[in-house]
Structure 1
């Protein structure tokens, strides 16, 4: 461990607390909030250290050495879908926060999470789960102990879920893992295949004004055809070797993924007659390699030293685009691109143990990116607009929004570890990191959705390919009480720019520099073998730096005498609040039980109110939910388990946004259709809070048992064991 905020969790610890969806398992990382604003097949929404990480822009996720973040993605930069995760297969989860480790590259400014599947499964098992709102899941895992000189196992998962929504999610998911390995993670090899497919309907966020007026149920949707389909297939391998004072590890992977997504966020704002449904698609193949070599040696004074040198290479071959549609019927294309994006990263760090109580880690990495963007948009599918003279115009922007972009960055790192003193260590860290941006935004020259006032192309601002971050942290980790592991961290992080490409509109927005700082406390206490407590809290302040000139000008347009009576300026004033930057997060967990017998668990998750607009006019409510688990494990491998979610039936928001939209029931809608309302007001619509509620109280029952290929059912559980005593 080189930072007080760095955490390691075993797969058993991850699975001990109840969670409703695979991505929620990652909430074991202190301060991390994982939620969902659409259907169950879309990537989760992540929040950490004052970042609204969208679907992963500044949180790097890895599984078995494969990056989950997708750059230049059809829906969101850094899109990281963890829905294909099978938590029961996890060996461990390693979480690092901040850009302090040389190994961590793209998307790691807020943190990096490394997940590793087990190399071996000792005993086969199956489990069947059913519950509220037509939830059903089946999982089977079968090991092969002697196979081709190593060990292998296969896992197959099928899941269905409808949810509490009036338009059911009708989510159908199939998932599989085949893995062969020999040796250990440090000295051995493995080959893994993963296959995953998911299809669903999605109830997106809904306008609170429609719910308040009784026009829409809390479980309703503005678009019953929203939803999508996704798939992911991967083949990965690892080779590692320890030879005396040398250690080598090489990981290689090839991944093919697809996403076809239909969404409606602004309803009838842009198109009063057709509606604002969009289709985003992404079809890519990516290949990559991670290699590192470590050498242990000593200087002339005898101080132990370890030097690591690493190489990371990746290439994405991408087809993606943005189209407009009505009930999934396409009628024009805003962008349709082929992108080839490659990168290489070279990194090194050296750890020196100067004295028994002083250790330093100095490192650096160099990254080079190259992206080539070409357009596939044609005149026939280009948006059809109307000029100021009432004449038709084809907005063919593709030929102008293409080109080649490259960028490079050097990122130094430093960590100082002092101690232990009385089982306490102190840490100081500094590092520079970065995230890549959508390559389409780097070659953008003209708007893909609107004409200029003179009926020509509207100019659009390009953005840099790489955006730097700088962060520092001080903290301590203590174990002076038997069974208690506590840490405290104070951190600071500056992002050079919040520039981003907006996949939902095909344009860029200018983001100012930002600053985040905060305090994190994390505790894990296990006084004996059958009880464990977890508790953490994070306090963060996140603000923009500087003045938002573009937002100021837009706000002034809404303050003119003709626009002022509509009140659209509320929520659009310039300010320094970072939208959806959660200021307070907390998690408490309780685990009871041993390997056999009765067991139980509680998990409480809380994230506080936060500003939803730059000026802080719109705010979200705080959200808290309690989950519970109770069950019994038999000594022969059978398990009966009951999980309950949101047991106090909180009606707070699962996620919240604030922006302008337009509904046919809005008085402004008729005025915009008639051309009475000012154009700048109709361009914004009605500012409102848009939410997706927490799912109501739900229960699930799981039956698990041993899986063999014998003709008979073995190891049937003994019901008399249910009456054994709880552990002392």
Structure 2
């Protein structure tokens, strides 16, 4: 650990300025282009343009050859001259123009390709952009999805960190489950970029980022005003609009809103509705960018829940039926977010953000039916009212240490969650509270600091980082017969060490390693003590990105992850509890291929092995851990036509520790076609185009139906959508 402190002290004490070149990148319309990649062909140093199109390229002089590239513009190859402004032309999508950049996030270019060739239409599809990430809905459309990635049944977000514009989506010590990540407040039409990676290898990623992270960035500007109407089966309608309120070189303000309603495909109508509102103001000046954004969403729904297989087999209900059709809930979230990006000088910058989130949640579930209460049933209510505040600051500097280019960041952060009346109760028909099981107030604080340094030795990049997180957990138990306010605290260091070798513009190798962690629920920490508060993960990736031909990109990684503690979902109580140590390992393989100028093929396959290390062989399976997954798409962009045919496969998985029950796999395909004529776009969306019979989520659960003498332990499932057709009409003006 002392070696990390020495590196950071060395960086701060011995930095000196190197020769550098300042430039700017603009469009034909004289508008700045951000996130442009500038590569010095002579020595492989590189830079990215900021929101003003400006960049500083270290170790560069007049006459050096440079490559300037962006996912939406034609690559420009030129030499550095006294004229420091460069103009890029809009280009059709072409893998031929993609350069394998020397980014430690080796999936950086893959993400940019996928965004361009596979536009998304829902928050669920945003998450599916991560290769190997699967989601499932099992309690109506208003509840956060269940997430599967890298041999994890992540539940609703225990081991993946998700953020939007720096705002954490995950909610710690949540009424339903640790790390609960409800992304439904984000409108996909407002997303500008998606950044993701797997593993816990980056110092600026903290709690819950064990299997990986996903960061979404919203647009600073929109090109057009637009309105859209979507109509589909099962009484589905969605109406939305995006409007420019202010659009100048120095200022931008736009609004986006949508309303969705559907009964869904279940026998008992969901009566689901969701309202989304979003507005963002951005101010640009000579050396900084300030943005202020507001999110709001609210949703309510009914749900059919998870149903036992025997009830379907016996003809008591159909596949889309319900044992308790009074399940469901309502939720809302309002967020204000402030961001300030400041260019301090040509080699240093400061980023600061602050957010405030107000959140309400009420969920009714019934997992075991009449197991505990043969008269009234086992329905439970989970409820909370939450206020979350956060502040983050990061300082970044480009420097030179004895002719070695170095980029380092220093960051600090604060997050506080105040949860009032977090409740678990036994209820009847969503109307009557029969018994309070848990009721209290939570106050959870997380202070963090990190340092990160990136050294460039020609073709080799060495990245080292160290992060420290301090947590305080406070719980006031309102059901105690006497005043009971308990607290515990703990800190954790998370070192990182990564290597990237850029063999040439077509091939790079990465070796990543790091320690991560996920915090436990405050109530679990108070009950179990400090020992199980912040279980750590230890992981490593060895992979490559290769472009063997101009129109083919391949990527692969072998990986390993050890976790000090798992979470086991307890269905009859509706909570999570800690379990033992586990290890996971596997391989990821990806392919991006451009068959013609207008046809693209994407494919990702993963194989994962997940086992408990503290159980005997044959009793050490991790329930619902995905083994084999496949995601593929064939996308078309030609003239006024665009579309994609997407398929996903999730293999059979063990449903319990001894693998005596199996969660059946599925293969499902979707279709999306669009035609643009003048200002109008007509689209057709088809989910499950082959009308496959599949189960979206599955659990081993002990339950008892009304009238049954004994309980039965078997698979309980939520059926996946049948053939579902929707049409969309969009008008831009």
- TM-score range (shorter-chain normalised) is 0.7 to 0.9
Query: Which of the residues 722, 729, 733 maps onto 1:696?
Result: 722
Q: Give the alignment of 1:437-476 within 5 angstroms.
A: 437-444=520-527, 464-476=532-544
Aligned to 2:164: 63
Question: Is the contact made by 2:236 and 2:262 (CA closer than 8 Å) also made in structure 1?
Answer: yes
Alignment deviations for residues 589-632 of structure 1 (CA, whole Å, 9 cap, x no partner): 111123x4122210001111000100000001111111012221
CA distance 1:285–1:322, shift in 2 (3 Å): same
Question: Is the contact made by 1:15 and 1:87 (CA closer than 8 Å) also made in structure 2?
Answer: no
Aligned to 2:334: 233
CA distance 1:94–1:410, shift in 2 (3 Å): same
Question: Is the contact made by 1:206 and 1:690 (CA closer than 8 Å) also made in structure 2?
Answer: yes
Query: Aligned-pair distance for 1:25?
Result: 2.6
Alignment deviations for residues 8-60 of structure 1 (CA, whole Å, 9 cap, x no partner): 535982783566x4223321210000121111000011100000010000011
- 1:51 maps to 2:51: no
CA distance 1:645–1:499, shift in 2 (3 Å): closer
1: distance between equivalents of 2:186 and 2:280?
Answer: 14
1: distance between equivalents of 2:619 and 2:232?
Answer: 45
CA distance 1:18–1:150, shift in 2 (3 Å): closer
CA distance 1:185–1:133, shift in 2 (3 Å): farther
CA distance 1:487–1:351, shift in 2 (3 Å): same
Query: Which of the residues 413, 417, 420 maps onto 1:312?
Result: 413
2: distance between equivalents of 1:95 and 1:171?
Answer: 30
2: distance between equivalents of 1:12 and 1:506?
Answer: 37
Question: Is the contact made by 1:431 and 1:471 (CA closer than 8 Å) also made in structure 2?
Answer: yes
2: distance between equivalents of 1:290 and 1:501?
Answer: 32
2: distance between equivalents of 1:368 and 1:223?
Answer: 43
> Which shifted more, 286-295 or 525-534?
525-534
1: distance between equivalents of 2:596 and 2:361?
Answer: 47
Which runs of 5 or more structure 2 residues have no equivalent in the other structure?
Answer: 1-102
Question: Is the contact made by 1:475 and 1:489 (CA closer than 8 Å) also made in structure 2?
Answer: yes
- 1:171 maps to 2:215: no
Query: Aligned-pair distance for 1:184?
Result: 9.2
Alignment deviations for residues 615-655 of structure 1 (CA, whole Å, 9 cap, x no partner): 00000111111101222112x33100111110111111111
2: distance between equivalents of 1:611 and 1:121?
Answer: 46
Question: Is the contact made by 2:368 and 2:572 (CA closer than 8 Å) also made in structure 1?
Answer: no
2: distance between equivalents of 1:161 and 1:10?
Answer: 32
CA distance 1:509–1:175, shift in 2 (3 Å): closer
Q: Give the alignment of 1:518-667 within 5 angstroms.
A: 518-547=586-615, 575-594=619-638, 596-634=639-677, 636-667=678-709
Aligned to 1:373: 475
2: distance between equivalents of 1:220 and 1:528?
Answer: 46
Aligned to 2:488: 405
Aligned to 2:62: none
TM-score by length of 2: 0.83
1: distance between equivalents of 2:130 and 2:286?
Answer: 23
Query: Aligned-pair distance for 1:421?
Result: 3.3
Query: Which of the residues 494, 510, 526 maps onto 2:562?
Result: 494
Aligned to 2:435: 332
Question: Is the contact made by 1:411 and 1:431 (CA closer than 8 Å) also made in structure 2?
Answer: yes
Give the 3-state SS of the residue equivalent to 1:119 in structure 2: coil
TM-score by length of 1: 0.83
Aligned to 2:70: none
Question: Is the contact made by 1:75 and 1:503 (CA closer than 8 Å) also made in structure 2?
Answer: no
Give the 3-state SS of the residue equivalent to 2:359 in structure 1: strand
Between the two proteins, the alignment pairs up a number of residues equal to 628
Question: Is the contact made by 1:344 and 1:368 (CA closer than 8 Å) also made in structure 2?
Answer: yes
Give the 3-state SS of the residue equivalent to 1:353 in structure 2: strand
2: distance between equivalents of 1:345 and 1:502?
Answer: 31
CA distance 1:404–1:9, shift in 2 (3 Å): same
CA distance 1:14–1:175, shift in 2 (3 Å): farther
Give the 3-state SS of the residue equivalent to 1:442 in structure 2: helix
Question: Is the contact made by 1:322 and 1:503 (CA closer than 8 Å) also made in structure 2?
Answer: no
1: distance between equivalents of 2:463 and 2:620?
Answer: 35
Question: Is the contact made by 1:102 and 1:363 (CA closer than 8 Å) also made in structure 2?
Answer: yes
Q: Give the alignment of 1:2-41 within 5 angstroms.
A: 2-5=104-107, 9-10=111-112, 13=115, 16=118, 21-41=122-142
Question: Is the contact made by 2:250 and 2:284 (CA closer than 8 Å) also made in structure 1?
Answer: no
Query: Which of the residues 576, 579, 584 maps onto 1:511?
Result: 579
- 1:145 maps to 2:207: no
Q: Give the alignment of 1:338-353 within 5 angstroms.
A: 338-353=441-456
2: distance between equivalents of 1:6 and 1:660?
Answer: 44
Give the 3-state SS of the residue equivalent to 1:9 in structure 2: helix
CA distance 1:661–1:7, shift in 2 (3 Å): farther
- Measured on the aligned residues, the alpha-carbon RMSD in Å equals 2.2
1: distance between equivalents of 2:392 and 2:440?
Answer: 28
Question: Is the contact made by 2:392 and 2:413 (CA closer than 8 Å) also made in structure 1?
Answer: yes
CA distance 1:545–1:399, shift in 2 (3 Å): farther
